[in-house]
């Protein structure tokens, strides 16, 4: 009994250390001050607590931001994550976020309501579609908004990845030489440009970008056309691999 008690005490002493990032962990600021409903400190099916655990395991020290993302908030930070914002960023925040990346910071953006991010993406030379992607191949459970993504290009985010699952994503377009599409939908995917909720002559049918990776000054950025990729409900084995790659990239010096 005494041995068992000692083992239990040792485990209890070590357990907090397992959850605590190393001293040299990258400081990752998670924005939760722009109306985000799906949170890294929430345990619901659409929250991001499992992603938070994975990022921690990959060497990230997560800090939550509920105030504006200004220069003061970004001081001492290595990377910023903004996922599923419902409220737009103010001009001063956009200026400071851009300067943060230019100076060597990393920025990861996951879209829920894409127009909320239009000004930020525009500063990085990235643009989004006016509607979500419909897929005709690799569809998940007969919902053409949910599908497997298998068209991948080499990047820190896709390293060792064969596929991942997307659940209602926006098409992304790189409009500058400093960024590129590293994950695409299938050749028969389409966006409903005329709003009639069916594929027709006025719609765009082609392979469409769903992840963009780029550089800006001394920094780097990644934009995901979907925020559900990393939500607790949808974090299957392949999406977990994508999350680990994200964490490794964020933690990399």
pLDDT digits (tens, 9 = 90+) for 204-225: 999 999 999 999 999 999 999 9
The number of distinct structural domains making up the chain is: 1
Residue 215: domain span: 24-251
Residues found in the chain: 253
Average pLDDT taken over every residue of the chain: 92
> How many CA atoms, within 13 angstroms, populate the side-chain half-sphere of residue 106?
22
Residue 198 pLDDT: 93
Answer left, alpha or beta for residue 216, where phi above 0 means left and psi between -120 and 50 means alpha: beta
Percent of the chain at pLDDT exceeding 90: 88
Grouping H, G, I as helix, E, B as strand and the rest as coil, residue 121 is: helix
10-14, 66-70, 190-194, 240-244: least confidently modelled range: 10-14
Residue 13, pLDDT above cutoff 80: no
Contact 35, 85 (CB under 8 A): yes
Q: What share of the chain is helix, strand, coil (3-state, %, to 5)?
A: 30, 30, 40
User: Across residues 221-245, what is the average pLDDT?
Assistant: 99
Residue 202 pLDDT: 87
Could you give the CA distance from residue 193 to residue 130 in angstroms, rounded to a whole number? 7
Residue 24 pLDDT: 83
- CA angle 133/135/139 to nearest 5° reads 125
CA distances from 135 to 165, 174, 220 (A): 12, 21, 29
Q: What confidence category does residue 16 fall into, taking pLDDT thresholds of 50, 70 and 90?
A: very low
Contact 77, 38 (CB under 8 A): no
Residue 184, pLDDT above cutoff 80: yes
In a domain, 15, yes or no: no
Q: What confidence category does residue 5 fall into, taking pLDDT thresholds of 50, 70 and 90?
A: very low
According to DSSP, the β-strands at 106-110 and 79-83 are parallel
In a domain, 98, yes or no: yes
Give the CATH number of the domain where residue 96 resides.
3.40.50.880
pLDDT tens for residues 104-124? 999 999 999 999 999 999 999
Residue 29 pLDDT: 98
In a domain, 4, yes or no: no
User: Across residues 145-171, what is the average pLDDT?
Assistant: 98
In a domain, 214, yes or no: yes
Q: Report pTM.
A: 0.91
CA distances from 74 to 68, 87, 216 (A): 10, 19, 17
Q: What confidence category does residue 23 fall into, taking pLDDT thresholds of 50, 70 and 90?
A: low
pLDDT tens for residues 37-63? 999 999 999 999 999 999 999 999 999
In a domain, 18, yes or no: no
In a domain, 103, yes or no: yes
In a domain, 11, yes or no: no
Backbone angles phi, psi at 197, to 5 degrees: 65, 25
CA distances from 98 to 136, 150, 175, 240, 253 (A): 37, 31, 17, 28, 19
């Amino acid at each position: 009994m005494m041995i068992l008690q000692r083992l239990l005490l040792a485990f209890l002493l070590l357990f907090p250390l397992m959850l605590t990032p190393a001293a040299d962990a990258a400081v990752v600021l998670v924005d939760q001050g722009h109306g985000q409903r799906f949170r890294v400190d929430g345990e619901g099916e659409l929250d991001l607590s499992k992603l938070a655990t994975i990022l921690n395991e990959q060497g990230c020290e997560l800090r939550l931001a509920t105030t504006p993302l200004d220069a003061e908030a970004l001081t001492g930070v290595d990377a910023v994550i903004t996922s599923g914002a419902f409220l737009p960023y103010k001009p001063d925040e956009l200026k400071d976020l851009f300067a943060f990346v230019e100076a060597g910071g990393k920025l990861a953006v996951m879209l829920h309501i894409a127009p909320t991010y239009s000004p930020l993406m525009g500063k990085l030379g990235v643009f989004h579609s006016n509607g979500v992607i419909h897929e005709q191949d690799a569809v998940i459970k007969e919902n053409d908004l949910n599908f497997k993504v298998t068209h991948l290009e080499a990047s820190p985010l896709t390293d060792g990845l064969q596929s991942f699952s997307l659940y209602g994503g926006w098409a992304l377009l790189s409009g500058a030489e400093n960024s590129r599409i590293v994950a695409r939908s299938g050749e028969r995917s389409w966006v409903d440009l005329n709003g009639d909720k069916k594929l027709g002559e006025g719609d765009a049918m082609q392979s469409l970008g769903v992840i963009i990776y780029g550089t800006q000054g001394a920094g780097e950025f990644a934009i995901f056309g979907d925020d559900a990729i990393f939500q607790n409900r949808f974090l299957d084995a392949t999406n977990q691999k994508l999350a680990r790659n994200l964490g490794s990239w964020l933690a990399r010096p």
